[in-house]
């Protein structure tokens, strides 16, 4: 029995020492971004732990102390702190970022402190590549081929590293339609409206529309002659077109013969509206003028940012933006089965199952949790609870030490009695 006391004390020292190491590591990483702490589970040791017939602990089993049974992951989320970087990301809910090292090994982390490296790869602070889906809207000549608001995530195995060109061009979009509106009244005075027209070269030309009343007017309503001119920025005349607008007695537009202008080789439709929806000629009402046109001048890349949906957004000098990729969030059937590589990174195992992506009702891959930019997730360690656990484990360690000391004293007394 006295020998078993040694075993009990020693196992107690080993077990509580392991627990102290776990809690101490948690406390040491209390300020580590994305740190996922470990808990501990102890179990008792018996000479004969299970009776084969009854599957219960036998009544005559003698305890031999304790052992560290498992170190489960603490699955609670850490608090969220704000940062100044759009590439700092925090997951609101479950899920893991996927990162790939130079050996093509994939790890999973909640640490979203990302940045763009010198090659414009989205990477961790240690240079590991963040995984996601590209929009495939960039040509080989590094020109944006289409504007994308949201990228559809590819399948789990199709996620890739997110590298984007350093020099990306937003191509010019020629103006196709100009919409004109306002009230030109009924007085015999010259009215004018203007708009900017983008040609196929990305140059912003000037459109000027002049309204003058026709010499011959109908008995009811008014007729206006309309002249449109297109000039280049340096004043060169590119096109002139003429037509008429006819209004009824209430000032509603009933007919327009000027339909388009030539913008340096590109036809641009002129939309004067209909009835009261565009240009009107109403008496005794304020004179107004308004125009709008589509088309965009070309632009060069300003930089890349990440928005709240995990979309990588390219911003251009012309003020335009487009998504060029999306960061993926991975999920597992059993997060507890993940194998720990470090305090912030894990790998899949047979216990966790393979990584997968959530799907919506239509079967499309989705992240399943919101991603917050300008934010990072702190360690999920509760300092108060951990310090309390450390005190309890230290007391337990002291008690195990006293067990060994007491057993030693008992053996010494027994030896003295024999003498």
Question: What one-character DSSP code corresponds to residue 337?
Answer: G
Reported for 216-224, long-range contacts at CB under 8 A and 24+ positions apart, including other chains, are 218/246, 220/248, 220/249, 221/246, 221/247, 221/248, 221/249, 221/254, 221/281, 222/186, 222/246, 222/247, 222/281, 223/247, 224/184, 224/191, 224/281
In 10 A of CB 353, how many CB atoms?
A: 15
Query: What are the DSSP calls for 21-35, one per residue?
Result: HHHHHHHHTTTSTT-
Q: Note whether 220 and 193 are within 8 A (CB).
A: no
51-64 pLDDT tens trace: 555 555 544 555 56
Residues 6+ positions from 58 with CB-CB distance below 8 Å: 46, 48, 50, 51
- pLDDT for 62 equals 53
- pLDDT for 10 equals 73
In 10 A of CB 414, how many CB atoms?
A: 11
Distance, in Å, from the CA atom of 205 to the CA atom of 198, rounded to the nearest integer, reads 6
- pLDDT for 93 equals 92
Burial 282-321 (b: 16+ CB within 10 A, else e): beeeeeebebebebbbbbebeebbbeebbbbbbbbebebb
**Domain boundaries defined on the chain:** 2-75+381-418, 80-170+300-377, 177-293
In 10 A of CB 335, how many CB atoms?
A: 18
- pLDDT for 59 equals 46
Q: Are β-strands 177-183 and 279-280 bridged in parallel, bridged antiparallel, or unpaired?
A: parallel
Question: What one-character DSSP code corresponds to residue 332?
Answer: -
Q: In this predicted model, which residue has the larger pLDDT, 404 or 123? A: 123
Distance, in Å, from the CA atom of 304 to the CA atom of 314, rounded to the nearest integer, reads 5
- Which pTM does this prediction carry? 0.76
Tokens linked to 106: 């994939």
Q: Any idea which of 52-61, 160-169, 393-402 has the lowest mean pLDDT?
A: 52-61
102-137 pLDDT tens trace: 888 999 999 999 999 999 999 999 999 999 999 999
- pLDDT for 142 equals 95
Q: Grade residue 398 by pLDDT with cuts at 50, 70 and 90.
A: confident
User: Is residue 44 packed enough to be buried (19+ CB in 10 Å), middle (13-18) or exposed (0-12)?
Assistant: middle
CA-wise closest residue to 209 among 153, 164, 159, 270: 270
Examine the pLDDT at 44 and tell me if it is beyond 70: no
């Amino acid at each position: 029995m006295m020998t078993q006391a040694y075993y009990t004390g020693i196992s107690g020292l080993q077990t509580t020492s392991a627990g102290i190491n776990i809690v101490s590591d948690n406390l040491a990483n209390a300020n580590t971004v994305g740190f996922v702490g470990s808990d501990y589970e102890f179990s008792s040791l018996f000479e004969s732990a299970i009776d084969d017939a009854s599957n219960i602990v036998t009544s005559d089993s003698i305890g031999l102390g304790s052992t560290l049974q498992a170190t489960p992951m603490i699955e609670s989320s850490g608090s969220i702190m704000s940062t100044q970087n759009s590439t700092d990301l925090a997951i609101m809910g479950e899920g893991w970022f996927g990162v790939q090292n130079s050996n093509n090994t994939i790890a999973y982390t909640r640490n979203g402190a990302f940045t763009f490296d010198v090659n414009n790869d989205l990477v961790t602070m240690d240079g590991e590549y963040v995984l996601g889906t590209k929009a495939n809207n960039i040509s080989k000549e590094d020109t944006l081929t289409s504007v994308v608001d949201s990228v559809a995530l590819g399948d789990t195995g199709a996620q890739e590293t997110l590298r984007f060109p350093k020099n990306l061009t937003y191509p010019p979009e020629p103006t196709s339609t100009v919409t004109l509106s306002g009230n030109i009244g009924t007085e015999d005075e010259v009215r004018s409206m203007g708009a900017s027209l983008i040609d196929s070269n990305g140059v912003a030309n000037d459109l000027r529309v002049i309204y003058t009343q026709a010499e011959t007017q109908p008995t009811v309503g008014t007729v206006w002659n309309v002249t449109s001119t297109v000039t280049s920025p340096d004043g060169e005349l590119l096109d002139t077109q003429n037509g008429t607008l006819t209004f009824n007695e209430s000032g509603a537009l009933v007919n327009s013969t000027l339909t388009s202008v030539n913008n340096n080789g590109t036809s641009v439709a002129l939309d004067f509206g209909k009835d009261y929806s565009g240009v009107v000629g109403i008496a005794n009402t304020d004179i107004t003028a308004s125009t709008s046109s589509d088309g965009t001048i070309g632009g060069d890349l300003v930089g890349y940012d990440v928005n709240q949906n995990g979309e990588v957004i390219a911003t251009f000098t012309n003020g335009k933006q487009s998504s060029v990729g999306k960061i993926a969030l991975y999920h597992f059937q059993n997060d507890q089965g993940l194998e720990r590589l470090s305090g912030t990174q894990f790998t899949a195992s047979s216990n966790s199952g393979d990584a997968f992506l959530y799907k919506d009702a239509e079967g499309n891959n989705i992240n399943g949790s919101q991603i917050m930019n300008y934010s990072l997730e702190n360690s999920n360690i509760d300092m108060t609870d951990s310090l309390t656990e450390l005190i309890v484990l230290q007391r337990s360690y002291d008690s195990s030490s006293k067990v060994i000391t007491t057993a030693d004293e008992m053996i010494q007394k027994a030896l003295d009695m024999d003498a």
